[in-house]
Structure formats: structure tokens, C-alpha cells
Amino acid sequence: MDKSDYRQHISSQFNAELEDVRSRVLEMGGRVETQILDATRALVSLDGILASQVEAADQEINRIELRIDEDCSQILVRRQPTAGDLRLVYAVIKTITDLERIGDEAAKIARMAISLAAKERTREHMLQVQHLSNQVRTMVHDALDAFARMDAEAAVAVARQDIVVDREYESLMRQLMTYMMEDVRTVGPVIDIIFCIRAMERIGDHAKNIAEYVVYLVKGKDVRHIGIDAMERQVLARPPDPAE
């Protein structure tokens, strides 16, 4: 799907509606990226005030999702889009669901930050936690950039990055479990940190989902559950050359 295709309608109002929902998805994505950043800052610095602000901001993200979802429903009913336009509306609906869930995961991190702020011995492993957070926030940013540019190859790169995030998460999980077993006094705080990195790993999964919707939007191919190598082949495969 060429990114200008959905603009080529007889009805300029339909064009405007599609462009509007697409723009608001990106605006929602920007808010979600800020949520991840602020939640991590609250966690690392044990800033309960900032963590509370992240929790409160999650309600606005939920409201944005509902408004975009309702507008997409209206487009489906009134415009009855087909082909690429239908895929765009579908991709928007699926993407905002994952963005809302990313916001929920950021709110979980904020709640754990509030809990950790009241406990001792919580500074260990924060550098690795912050690095993991940076990785998943980059995934979210890159997935949204692929959506904005309708770039299927960039979307595949996001999906491949999820493998790196999973490995980093598993390594950090092992470190935290070892640390907790060596000193039982750390059990409470470490469990909170484990909840945080689990939330970060889930954010990476949602970013991968968004990347898969981009592939569907651009290529018309459902690449969920097929594995990254198969996904890459679907996106990068060239059509046969008639001259060959």
C-alpha cells in the first residue's frame, strides 16, 4: 500500500477523516512514550510524586483510545472502506489497543516506584533496569515511526529487536533471582523490580504487535505468529521478474 493511496478519494472529507485518526494515533503514541520515560525516571530516582503523575496520566490515554476507537467505528459504518483504507482503519484500531496497554504497563511501573520509594535497599540493578526501559521505549518509537512512514522493512527491524529485549530481560531476571536468594532481606524490593521489568518486557511485545500491524497495512499480509524469519521473508520477498 502506497502511503498516498488512502488520500486519493473523491470525498475530501473521507481523506480528512483518515488523516485525522492516523495523526491522533501518533499523538497518542507520543504520550505513551512519555509515560514510559517518566515511569522509569520515577523508578530509578524513587520519585513518588512523578510516579503518581504517571498513574494519573494513564486515564487520559484511556480516553484518547476510546475517542479514536469510536471515530473508527463511525468511519466503518458511514464510509464502508475497502482494500487499503479498510486495512488502515483495522491497523489503527489494533494499534491504539496496544498503545493503551503500553500505558497500563507504564502505570504498573509507576505503582512499583511508589512501593519501592518506601523500602530500603532498592538501588541495586537500576542501571540495567533503565537500559531495558530505554530498549523498549526505542522499540515503541520505531514502531510508531514505521506506522507513520508506512515502512514494512522498518517494522521488521522492530520485531527483530524484540528478540534482543527478551534476552536482556531473561538475563536481568536471573541476576535478580540470584541477588534475592543471596540476601533474603531484599525479597520485597526485588519482587517489585521484577514486576517492573516484566512490564517492560510486555511493552516490547506490544511494540512488536504494532510492527506486525504495519506489515499488514502495507503488504496486506498477516504476519502474526509466524516467527521473525518468516516475517522477514514475507516483507523482503521480491515479486518474480517477468523478464527472467
If residue 78 lies in a helix (H) or strand (E), which one and from where to where? helix 48-79
CA distance 111 to 113: 5
Q: Check residue 9 and give its pLDDT.
A: 52
Q: Check residue 242 and give its pLDDT.
A: 47
Q: Check residue 183 and give its pLDDT.
A: 83
Give the number of other Cβ atoms within 10 Å of residue 200's Cβ: 29
Q: Check residue 8 and give its pLDDT.
A: 54
CATH match for 11-236 among 1.20.58.220, 1.10.730.10, 3.40.50.2000, 3.30.470.20:
1.20.58.220
CA distance 141 to 41: 18
CA nearest neighbour of 235 among 226, 225, 218: 218
CA distance 189 to 204: 23
If residue 36 lies in a helix (H) or strand (E), which one and from where to where? helix 12-45
CA distance 25 to 95: 8
Does residue 25 contact residue 95 with C-beta atoms inside 8 Å?
yes
Half-sphere exposure of 148 (CA within 13 A, CB side): 14
CA nearest neighbour of 161 among 127, 192, 193, 201: 201
Give the number of other Cβ atoms within 10 Å of residue 19's Cβ: 12
Q: Check residue 72 and give its pLDDT.
A: 94
Does residue 47 contact residue 118 with C-beta atoms inside 8 Å?
no
pLDDT tens, residue order, the chain (244 aa): 555 554 555 467 888 888 899 999 999 999 999 999 999 999 999 899 999 999 999 999 999 999 999 999 999 998 888 888 899 999 999 999 999 999 999 999 999 999 888 775 566 788 999 999 999 999 999 999 999 999 999 999 999 999 999 999 999 999 999 988 888 888 888 999 999 999 999 999 999 999 999 999 998 887 887 888 878 888 877 554 444 3
Q: Check residue 145 and give its pLDDT.
A: 97
Q: Check residue 235 and give its pLDDT.
A: 84
